[in-house]
Structure 1
Amino acid sequence: MSDSTPPVPPLPDRSAAEAARVTEPAATTPAYDPATDPDNTGVPTSLGDDATAIGRGFFAALFDLSFRTFITRRLASVFYLVGLIAIAIGFIVYLVNGIVGGVSLLWYNTGAGITAIIATVIIVPLVAFIAIIALRFIIEAVVALIAIAENTERTAQHTRR
C-alpha cells in the first residue's frame, strides 16, 4: 500500500512572531532623478535589458519583425489626438449641415425647420461626446491589453529556469 499524503515542507528557522519583531533594513530603491534619466521615460535604469528595449528607437521598434517591442503604448496619445480631431471635424460638419438644413426648411415648413435646428443642436453634441468616450475606452483597452502582454512576458522571463 502506497502512502498518498503529500510531502510536508520544512518549517522555517524562526516563528512568525519572532520574524515580525526583528527589524531588518529594507532594501531601498534610489529615488527617481530626472537629471540622470537617459531617455526621459521615467523607467529606472536598474531594469537592465528592459530599459534598453524601452529606449529603442521608434523605427527600430516599428520594423521589429518578431513583435517583441510594442509601439502601441507610444502611439496611444497620437491615436487619441487624431481621433479627437476627426470627431471635432465631424461635429462641425454635422452641426453646420444640420443648422443650414433646418434654416432651409424654415421657408417651406416652419415647424420642421425649428425642429431640425433644435434636434441638431441637441443630438450632434451628444453623439460627439459619446464618440469621445468610446474612443477613449477603446484606446485604454488596447493599451491595457498591451501592458498585460508586456507584464506577462516580463514575468515569464523572470520565472524561466
Structure 2
Amino acid sequence: MSDNPPVPPLPPQPAEEAARTGGAPATTPTAAAYDPSADPDNTGVPTSLHGEVDDIGRGFVSALFDISFRTFITRRLASVFYLVGLIAIAIGFIVYLVSGIISGVSYLVNGNVGAGLSLIVATLILVPVIAMFSVIALRFVIEGVVALIAIAENTERTAENTGTSPR
C-alpha cells in the first residue's frame, strides 16, 4: 500500500467558466494536469499560483502605503517580528537572571542566608521557564496572525476565481 494518498487533479477550468459553460470543459484547458512527480513539496498545491509573487514585484514600500489594504505585508515581516521578539526575550532573560543572582548574593552577604539561597534557586528555575514560555507564546501569536493572513489571501483568490469580490 502506498504511503501517500492519491492527489486529485486540478480542475481543467476556473469555476466561473465552468458555471457559464454548464460544466462542459473548455476547448483549451486553463490549468495543466497535476503531476505528483513534479511537486517539490508533495503537498498537492500547484506552485504556479499568482498573487503573492505578483505582490512582491509591486515592492514593499508601495505595499506598506496601500491604504486599501489589498496587499498584506504581515507574512513578509513575520520573521523580522519573530527575530526582534526573540532578541527582546533574550535580553530580558539575561537581565532578570543576572539581577536575580546579584540580589541573592547580596542577601547572602548581608547575613540572610535563607532569602539569598531561595532567591538564587528561584531565579535559576523560574527565569528560564518563563523565557521558554515567552518564546512559545510569541511563536503562537505570530503563527496565528500569519495563518489569518493566509486565510484572507486564499479567500480573496477563491473569490476572484468564482467571480465574486470579498471587498
Shift of 1:149: 0.4
Q: Which runs of 5+ in 2 are unaligned?
A: 1-31, 41-45
> Which of 82, 88, 91 is 1:86 aligned to?
88
Aligned-residue CA RMSD in angstroms?
A: 2.2
Shift of 1:152: 0.4
Q: 1:110 and 1:51 mapped to 2: Cα distance?
A: 63
1:50–1:75 Cα change, 3 Å: closer
Worse-matched range after superposition: 108-117 or 69-78: 108-117
Which has the larger Rg? 1
Deviations 1:11-47 (A, max 9, x none): xxxxxxxxxxxxxxx82469489xxxxxxxxx95x44
Q: Secondary structure at the match of 2:68?
A: coil
Q: 1:55 and 1:143 mapped to 2: Cα distance?
A: 20
Structure 2 counterparts to residues 146-157 of structure 1, below 5 A: 146-157=149-160
Aligned residue number for residue 8 of structure 2:
none
Aligned residue number for residue 136 of structure 2:
133
Aligned residue number for residue 158 of structure 1:
161
Aligned residue number for residue 99 of structure 1:
101
Q: Secondary structure at the match of 1:108?
A: coil
Q: Which runs of 5+ in 1 are unaligned?
A: 1-25, 34-42
Q: Secondary structure at the match of 1:137?
A: helix
Task: Give the TM-score normalised by structure 2.
Answer: 0.69
Shift of 1:138: 0.2
Task: Give the TM-score normalised by structure 1.
Answer: 0.71
Q: 2:61 and 2:92 mapped to 1: Cα distance?
A: 32
Q: 1:148 and 1:82 mapped to 2: Cα distance?
A: 25
Q: Secondary structure at the match of 2:67?
A: coil
